[in-house]
Amino acid sequence: MQTCFQRELQLQSAQLLCGDVADFGCGSGKIAPFLTDKADVTSYTGIDYSSEMIKIADWLIGQFDCPSFSTFEGKIEDYQGKMFDSAVSLNSYYTWPDPVKVLQHIYSLLKPGGLFVLATPNTRIDMLAMEKEVRKELLTHPDFATFSQINLALTENTDARFIDMNDLIKQLQSIGFSVVSCHQSFYLGGLNFLVLEKH
């Protein structure tokens, strides 16, 4: 299922990406279709630990004539390959057991001057308010009840690493990233959205 919240985030993130693109924690690769028509995107590599998500991402990528689009199944910090011009990570950070270690690895995989788009829920995320909005859009979908249940359970997940924007910025700057821009306009204010640059 795809919500208006997710689509808006993916579209705006895709506009910032160019060259050889990495999608860290790509899930089912939903941002990939938005990159297929971008003349300034030369390749896409989706990286995810879940074999089920990679299987879906491979199928999705296969629906487009993009031989330079591929996936890697494994932990982000285990990926060893080419360097990237830009990278994105949408709603993956909060699942990482050691976010600093993962961010350091992402930093090492970016070319100097490379951009990194990072979006992750903050401590103010209100899944009930979001569910109320999404209900208007997807109530008739046969899987909506399951989708809603899974998303509402996220709020109660004590292992989820929701982080305040200021704390996240400090963490990223300690690794070496500079902040190009940041805001909390997505997900009714419940999402940290940052555009970062490697020096």
Q: What is the pLDDT of residues 119-146, one digit of tens each?
A: 999 999 988 888 888 888 778 888 888 8
| Mean pLDDT of the region 171-195 | 97
Total structural domains in the chain? 1
Judged on CB neighbours under 10 Å (0-12, 13-18, 19+), 89 is buried
| pLDDT tens sequence across 140-170 | 888 888 878 877 777 677 778 999 999 999 9
| pLDDT tens sequence across 45-86 | 999 999 999 999 999 999 999 999 999 999 999 999 899 999
Beta-sheet pairing, 69-73 with 41-48: parallel
2 band by pLDDT with thresholds 50, 70 and 90: low
Which CATH number belongs to the domain containing residue 34 in this structure?
Answer: 3.40.50.150
| pLDDT tens sequence across 6-33 | 999 999 999 999 999 999 999 999 999 9
50: which DSSP letter? -
| pLDDT tens sequence across 53-62 | 999 999 999 9
For the chain, report the end-to-end CA distance as a whole number of angstroms.
37
Count the helices and strands in the chain (H runs, E runs): 7, 7
- Phi, psi (degrees; rounded to nearest 5) at 137: -90, -40
Query: What is the per-residue burial (b if ≥16 Cβ within 10 Å, else e) of 27-66?
Result: bbbbbbbbbeeeeebebbbbbbbeeebbebbbebbeeeeb
Tokens of 32: 């990939």
Indicate the residue type of 153: A
Rounded CA separation 150/133 (Å):
16
Q: Is the pLDDT of residue 104 over 70?
A: yes
Instruction: Quickly count: other Cβ atoms within 10 Å of residue 127's Cβ.
Output: 19
Full domain range(s) for residue 38: 4-198
Instruction: Quickly count: other Cβ atoms within 10 Å of residue 100's Cβ.
Output: 12
Q: What is residue 175's predicted lDDT score, i.e. its pLDDT?
A: 98
102 band by pLDDT with thresholds 50, 70 and 90: very high
